[in-house]
Chains A and B, each alone.
Chain A
Amino acid sequence: MTSPASTDLAPPQLSAGPRPAQGPAADEGLARRLRALACTAPLHDLDARKANLAGEYTVYAMAEVALAAIDLITLNMDFDTGADHEQIVARLLPRVAAQAPTRPAAEHERVARWVLENLINVGSVDRGFRAVYGTFGPDGVYVRRDYDFKLIEEVPGYGGGVYLRTTDEAVNVLVGALDTDVTSAQIAAEVKLEVLINRGRLADAQLAAEQARYRTVQYAESLRKTLEATRRNVRAVDWLNAVPDMIAEALDHVADRYRHENAILTNIRKARDEAEAASDAKTAEHKRRAAELVDIVKDCIRRHTQLQSRLLDAGPLFRAEQDRQAFAAPTAYTGLDLYGQLVAPTLPLPVEQAARVTDAFFARGTGLRTPASVRLGDLVDLLLTPPVEREHLGAEMPEPDLIATPDDSRFSEEQLASALRLLDLEHDAPRRLSGLLADARRLDADLPYLVALLAVHAASPPVGTAYRQGEERLLFAVDDGTPLDDPEFGGADLIVGTALLDAAGMAADRSEAS
């Protein structure tokens, strides 16, 4: 068995590996900026290369389409999957079409696909980009280095699909903050937003809110990766300190952001509603921007809520995995720790050396293959054998024996339709039940029963259902004390009317409540 003390025998291989030389501080900053600059190169490259395409494509602003694509993917990628390829192309089309409205739609689509494929860099085996830059080492030697990066990467999604995600590099290029800390940048963006709103500068506020959302996405992404590691291997993660701290930190962060963004939401709503009172063109513009801002901040809140539910799942997941891994009966002897003793020490090695280790594993870990030897006679037989016909349709289904059930409804469909027609009242012209009954009696002797029934139902209208389903009209009935004078029915002569509901307002309330 292993014991904690004996782990000291093996030195920390990973941190003791060969370290590349660190350049002077100024050079390091230069290298960072060079790499940041390299991230924009593929976009410039698009415009430079469009002239080489077969056809007259110079009219399209490729860099603009590319940035729009990165925007779309960043906003569409969620926790589990990324953005759908076809969806991104479809959403890019309006912008491409606007650049050259006279060109055919097929060309627009070709341009959108060309831009997207070039951002993925489909032609290269890594599906990424490489930039070369040079730095001075501490010994004064000038070294050229390769910087590999991706802007959009393809990731596996549910059901074997391929989804697109923007990389950190792309998000950084997009946001424009090339070398900043995620958390502090987010806070800065939000503080900026609040200030802007207080001064009524909503145009800038929207820009800042969008930036805050990009930051939110980026932050969620780094947390997602950490949680995924937890699920994979309990031992790979420090569940004593690091992960509980991380989860607590993240939950604090979510709570903090949630409070903060709700405050912003309240403020912007106020701005929106105040703008509603006025009617000049400038205020209307403010109102529109405020409404957009509400949507953006709501999206931020939604993403935080999603993040929070992931965080809450982490604890039970750990306990289940621990049950499986730690409470099993111990075996008499221990084996090789494949990850800790082979994978982890191999990865930091230079690839030349690491390949020796993986080659050794491959040579002895793949088992055996019996060499195939072909006999001509068999081959001829095999080639001449007709393929076996396969039954595609399966066994025949028995004809189901159906029995018609008698229609025992009290009222027919036509009667219901005419009753509803009768009750389809103008919203500002309610009617007495007695009048409705008289009208119904003229149409059909049975109809008054149905009308009375519907009217009595309307005395307690299904307000909750109408609210949830976002209906625009609602039938109601009120008793004002007048007795009903009718040969067939007794009771109150109800006032029946139609109420108009504010469907848009209800929808907004619903989404805020949820």
Chain B
Amino acid sequence: MSETHAEYADAWGEQEPPQPPAASTTGAASAVTPADASDAARLVSFGLQPKLLPARDAEYGELLRRYREDPAFARLADAVATGLGLIVLEVSPRAGMAVTAGEDSVFAVRMGDYARRASADSADRFLHGLAHLAVAAMAFPRPEDLADDAYIGRLTVNGVDAFVRQACLRLEQRAEEQGENTDPASDAPGLEAAWRIYARRSATGATKDARRLAGSTTGIVGKAAAFLTESGFLQRTGDEGGGSYRTTARYQLQVRDMAGSAAMAELLELGVVPVSDGSATLLPPPEGDDLELAADAGLPFHA
């Protein structure tokens, strides 16, 4: 266990009370009974049902309480999760046992399983990924919203689509102003600017059975929202705007602790976001010269 423990140590570290290492583990091991292991595994299995709320299930609530009060039990549950290839994000009454899949875990979601076309077509692959990113950006529009545990984001499918389209439109306008020719070279489609892929995909389309056209951007965003609902990250609240949703505590954790930083790291690797004094990721983007985002114009009380 010690190796895996080391690997995921920082993932657990936040929620876990400081533990004396190995020595006490062996000391406590004698106290661990098969019943404890069963309970710990039971707690993890609750965590694997993301739509289950601790407040609705007495046994779940009781195991959560035990996790928070009994450090030995907490370590046992963490170990079970780690062994299954899960990463523990938070264990709390509001989010329950919030676990997520490690990269190579059997629980991980793969793009090819998610959307059939996406594995063959790089444009579709990008659009499906962007849809998830855009849903998160719409759900937590400001850094404060992502940081505030009490914040509940709201979004609609059409709203997400329109907001990405708007961003693309701005880029198009800016390219026009600068006299750029953004049409890609025919033999190098991979060099086409990403926003153009989104902009030229139609927003919606009539289908024979009155369902959303799967390949349209609202279809892709709608699929993302429905999938996130299945993951217990969003709750559907209505049908207006192509389907309206609100966020759950788990989604905030997932975006904040996992997805956001992973995508950020990828961007850094591409050399797009420069590394500054370490606090850079917490800063708002440079505004004013790009999307006519005026710094502090909308938020005079920001600083």
Cβ of A339: which chain B residues have Cβ within 8 Å of it? 137, 141
Q: Which of A234, A344, A352, A360 contacts B191 (CB 8 A)?
A: A352
The answer to whether B50 and A368 have CB atoms under 8 Å apart is yes
Chain B window 267-285, contacts with chain A (Cβ cutoff 8 Å), 1 for yes, 0 for no: 1011011101100111111
What band does the interface of chain B fall in when counting residues whose beta carbon is under 8 Å from A?
Answer: 35 or more
Cβ of B169: which chain A residues have Cβ within 8 Å of it? 225
Of residues B134, B143, B158, which shows the largest number of chain A Cβ atoms within 10 Å of its Cβ?
B143
Cβ of A156: which chain B residues have Cβ within 8 Å of it? 158, 161, 203-204, 218, 242
CA distance A153 to B165 in the complex (A): 14
A489 interface hit (Cβ, 8 Å): no
Instruction: With A14-B171, A363-B103 as known contacts, state yes or no: A145 contacts B186, CB within 8 Å.
Output: yes
Q: Which of A124-132, A411-419, A506-514 contacts B (4 or more CB under 8 A)?
A: A124-132
Closest residue on chain A to residue B269 by CB atoms = A356
B55 interface hit (Cβ, 8 Å): no
Cβ of A335: which chain B residues have Cβ within 8 Å of it? 140, 143-147, 256, 260, 282
The answer to whether A364 and B143 have CB atoms under 8 Å apart is no
CA distance A349 to B83 in the complex (A): 38
A409 interface hit (Cβ, 8 Å): no
Q: Which of B99, B126, B128, B291 contacts A354 (CB 8 A)?
A: B126
Q: Which of B181, B258, B259, B277 contacts A135 (CB 8 A)?
A: B181
Classify the interface of chain A: helix, strand, loop or mixed.
mixed
Of residues A132, A225, A338, A352, which shows the largest number of chain B Cβ atoms within 10 Å of its Cβ?
A338
Of residues A135, A225, A354, A364, which shows the largest number of chain B Cβ atoms within 10 Å of its Cβ?
A364
The answer to whether A361 and B282 have CB atoms under 8 Å apart is no
CA distance A240 to B294 in the complex (A): 8
Whole-angstrom distance between the Cβ of B12 and the nearest chain A Cβ:
17
Cβ < 8 Å to B, chain A residues 324-358: 325-328, 330-331, 333-358
Cβ of A349: which chain B residues have Cβ within 8 Å of it? 193-194, 270, 272
Cβ of A305: which chain B residues have Cβ within 8 Å of it? none
The answer to whether B107 and A352 have CB atoms under 8 Å apart is no
Chain B window 168-205, contacts with chain A (Cβ cutoff 8 Å), 1 for yes, 0 for no: 11010010001111111111011111111110111111
The answer to whether B254 and A367 have CB atoms under 8 Å apart is yes
Interface size on A, residues (CB 8 A): 104
Cβ < 8 Å to B, chain A residues 348-387: 348-371
The answer to whether B293 and A146 have CB atoms under 8 Å apart is no
Q: Which of B189, B192, B233, B290 contacts A367 (CB 8 A)?
A: B233
Closest residue on chain B to residue A117 by CB atoms = B206
Cβ of A147: which chain B residues have Cβ within 8 Å of it? 183
The answer to whether B183 and A234 have CB atoms under 8 Å apart is no
B228 interface hit (Cβ, 8 Å): yes
Closest residue on chain B to residue A15 by CB atoms = B289
Closest residue on chain B to residue A242 by CB atoms = B292
Chain A window 70-97, contacts with chain B (Cβ cutoff 8 Å), 1 for yes, 0 for no: 0000000000000001000000000000
Residue pairs across A and B with Cβ atoms less than 8 A apart, 20 shown, are A10-B285, A12-B286, A13-B273, A19-B178, A146-B184, A154-B203, A229-B163, A232-B162, A242-B292, A242-B294, A334-B143, A334-B282, A338-B146, A341-B264, A350-B192, A357-B266, A363-B108, A366-B132, A367-B100, A368-B231
Beyond A13-B273, A235-B299, A371-B106, list 5 extra A-B contacts (CB 8 Å).
A125-B215, A145-B186, A232-B159, A322-B299, A341-B281
Interface residues of A (CB under 8 A from B): 1-4, 6-15, 19-23, 28, 31, 85, 120, 122, 125-128, 132-133, 135, 143-148, 150, 153-156, 160, 162, 225, 228-229, 232-242, 322, 325-328, 330-331, 333-371
For the complex of A and B, the 6 pairs showing the least CB-CB separation, nearest first, are A358-B129, A340-B285, A365-B259, A335-B146, A367-B231, A238-B294
